[in-house]
Structure 1
Amino acid sequence: PHSVVREINKINQIELELGTSGASWHDEYKDSAYIFVGGLHFDLTEGDVITIFSQYGEVMDVNLPRDKETGKTKGFGFLMYEDQRSTVLAVDNLNGATVLDRTLRVDHVKNYKQPK
């Protein structure tokens, strides 16, 4: 997975240098301030996730689905930033990062529906 992350980062850098960022794959998600976060260690709390992701912007909402029996998180979640541009920074910088020996998967979410 790390080689894919490196390739994506290279493409993003080239787009920035060429000034074609409007044509970037990120542009497709410009109306959503939500990201998907996978590969989370089961012991991480909402507070831990906010701490990790707040370096790229103000976190407004975190949803970490939990196992009904154990109460432990399921290893993934959704996070909303105050400013949509923070999602681009988080995806570019944290996708492929390692936290507690697990590789994070961070991606944009187009149509997030909040749980009831």
Structure 2
Amino acid sequence: MNSLTKVKLINELNEREVELGVAEKVSWHAEYKDSAWVFVGGLPYELTEGDIICVFSQYGEIVNINLVRDKKTGKSKGFCFLCYEDQRSTILAVDNFNGIKIRGRTIRVDHVANYRPPQDSRHVGDVVRSIQEKGCGVKTPSPAFPESSEDERPLRKHKKAKKREKNEGKL
């Protein structure tokens, strides 16, 4: 499947979930709740790891990056894998970066269920291998309260009440 088609399909899926008010637990993102890795494709070849981190750190702390390069020339192949410290950042990255243009190229951002480190990592030690496989971030904390649409409604009312109080204080 064409990568632009994948970008379009992911964006359509996200729009449909918003329209239907799908809860986080049953969202398509929930399938990737155990992985903090994302795939980024269609990158301009001249971007470095630092450039990519600058862009993608808007939605969370990046703890690992694998910019895939040609073994002979060392030039970027235009795609990479990123690991966020907090898995929830992957949802923000996929939803907000998928389909944007960087230096005239449309990028594709998607979850990675089972990231496998590069094969040439056989020559590294156990600590480095563990970081490559799992990342060095902490596990995503579990929510203090069970999620449901009923729990969200009072929160929204509370925010509206705060706004009203603020506006009344200005009068």
Q: Same fold (TM over 0.5)?
A: yes
> Structure 1 residues 31 and 6 mapped into 2: Cα distance closer, same or farther (>3 Å)?
closer
Q: Which has the higher helix share?
A: 2
Are positions 1:41 and 2:44 aligned together? yes
Runs (5+) with no aligned partner, structure 1 = none
Q: Which one of 96, 101, 121 corresponds to residue 98 of structure 1?
A: 101
Per the alignment, residue 28 of structure 2 pairs with 25
- Normalised by the length of structure 2, the TM-score is 0.63
Structure 2 unmatched ranges of 5 or more: 122-171
Q: Deviations over 1:27-57 (max 9, x none)?
A: 0000000000000000000000100100000
Counterparts of 1:69 and 1:28, CA distance in 2: 37
1:85 and 1:65 map into 2 onto residues whose CA distance is 24
Describe the SS at the equivalent of 2:68: coil
Q: Give the corresponding residue for 1:59.
A: 62
Note if contact 2:11-2:95 (Cα within 8 Å) is conserved in structure 1.
no
- Please point out which of 115, 123, 128 is paired with 1:112: 115
In 2, the alpha carbon distance for the partners of 1:34 and 1:90 equals 10
User: Which residue is 2:15 aligned to?
Assistant: 10
Runs (4+) of structure 1 moved beyond 3 Å?
1-6
Instruction: Count residues with an aligned counterpart.
Output: 114
TM superposition shift of 1:10: 1.0
1:71 and 2:71 equivalent?
Answer: no
Structure-2 separation of matches of 1:101 and 1:92: 19
Alignment root-mean-square deviation, CA: 1.5
Give the distance between the partners of 1:11 and 1:51, measured in 2 at CA.
Answer: 30
**Cα distance, 1:65 vs structure 2:** 1.1
So what's the TM-score if we normalise by structure 1? 0.90
Q: Could you say which structure has the larger radius of gyration?
A: 2
Q: Which amino acid is 1:89 matched to?
A: L
Identity of matched residues, %: 57
Bigger shift: residues 26-35 or 69-78: 69-78
Task: State whether residues 5 and 96 of structure 1, in contact with CA within 8 Å, keep that contact through their aligned partners in structure 2.
Answer: no
